[in-house]
Amino acid sequence: MAKFQDPAMAKAAHKRLLADKFVCRRCKSVKKGNNLKALSGDITCRNCGSHKFKPKRKK
Ligand SMILES: [Zn+2]
């Protein structure tokens, strides 16, 4: 992880990395999408057509 001198900058970068990214449960491709949409099966994987996604999280 890159280091930032400005805490606000680091926070923004962290948020950007985690925000609205979802991993397809079937083919593991990453897709950007709205959180609520993804969890309600409203987005479709462009690789395999699956509607099942899990949120991408980092610790
Ligand atoms: Zn997929």
pLDDT confidence of residue 49: 93
Whole-angstrom Cα distance, residue 27 to residue 8? 35
Whether residue 58 is contained in a domain is answered as: yes
pLDDT confidence of residue 26: 95
Total structural domains in the chain? 1
pLDDT confidence of residue 48: 95
**Centre of ligand 1 from the C-alpha of residue 9, in Å:** 33
**Centre of ligand 1 from the C-alpha of residue 38, in Å:** 13
Whether residue 12 is contained in a domain is answered as: no
**Centre of ligand 1 from the C-alpha of residue 5, in Å:** 38
pTM of the model: 0.60
Domain ranges, residue 43: 21-59
pLDDT tens-digit series, residues 24-59: 999 999 988 777 776 777 888 999 999 998 888 766
Whole-angstrom Cα distance, residue 7 to residue 28? 32
**Centre of ligand 1 from the C-alpha of residue 52, in Å:** 8
pLDDT confidence of residue 58: 66
Binned at pLDDT 50, 70 and 90, residue 2 comes out as: low
